[in-house]
Amino acid sequence: MVDTEHIQIAHGGGGQMTNELIEQVILPALGDASLQDPSGLTDAAVLTLWGGAASAGGRIAFTTDSYVVQPLEFPGADIGKLAICGTVNDLSVVGARPVALSLALVLEEGLEIALLRRVLESAGAAARDAGVKIATGDTKVVERGGVAGMIINTAGVGVPLEGAALGFANIRQGDKIVLSGPLGEHGMAVMSQRKGLSFRAELKSDCAALNGLTQALLAELGGAVRFMRDPTRGGLAATLVEVSTATGRDIEVDESAIPVNRTAKAAAEMLGLDLLTIANEGKLVAVVSSEAASAAVEIMRRNLLATRAAVVGTIGPANATPLVELVTNVGGRIVVQMPYGEELPRIC
- pLDDT of 297-337, one tens digit each? 999 999 999 999 999 999 999 999 999 999 999 999 999 99
Give the rounded distance of the alpha carbon of 287 from its chain centre: 15
Q: Which fold has domain 42-160?
A: 60s Ribosomal Protein L30; Chain: A; (3.30.1330)
Note the pLDDT of residue 252.
Answer: 98
How does pLDDT run across 244-288, given as a tens digit for each residue?
Answer: 999 999 999 999 999 999 999 999 998 889 999 999 999 999 999
Distance CA 71, CA 336 (A): 30
- Find out whether 203 and 189 touch, Cβ atoms under 8 Å: yes
Note the pLDDT of residue 157.
Answer: 97
- Find out whether 346 and 71 touch, Cβ atoms under 8 Å: no
**pTM for this prediction:** 0.90
Give the rounded distance of the alpha carbon of 324 from its chain centre: 19
Distance CA 330, CA 169 (A): 34
Angle between helices 211-221 and 293-301 in degrees, nearest 10: 140
Note the pLDDT of residue 34.
Answer: 55
Q: Which one, of 97, 34, 89, lies nearest residue 282 by Cα? A: 89
The identity of residue 143, as a single letter, is E
Query: Is residue 8 classed exposed, middle or buried when 0-12, 13-18 and 19+ CB atoms within 10 A define those classes?
Result: middle
Strands of the chain, DSSP E = 45-48, 59-67, 73-74, 77-78, 96-108, 133-142, 150-160, 176-179, 225-229, 249-254, 285-288, 310-318, 324-327, 333-336
Q: What is the mean pLDDT of each run of 10 residues along the chain (348 residues)?
A: 74 74 81 53 73 60 95 96 98 97 98 98 98 97 96 97 91 98 95 81 93 98 97 94 96 98 93 93 98 98 98 98 97 91 67
Percent of the chain with pLDDT over 70: 91
- Find out whether 153 and 120 touch, Cβ atoms under 8 Å: no
Beta-bridge partner residues of 135: none
Strand pairing class (45-48; 59-67): antiparallel
- Find out whether 187 and 207 touch, Cβ atoms under 8 Å: no
- Residue ranges per structural domain of the chain: 1-32, 42-160, 168-336
- Find out whether 206 and 284 touch, Cβ atoms under 8 Å: no
Q: Which fold has domain 168-336?
A: Phosphoribosyl-aminoimidazole Synthetase; Chain A, domain 2 (3.90.650)
- Find out whether 234 and 277 touch, Cβ atoms under 8 Å: yes
Note the pLDDT of residue 242.
Answer: 95
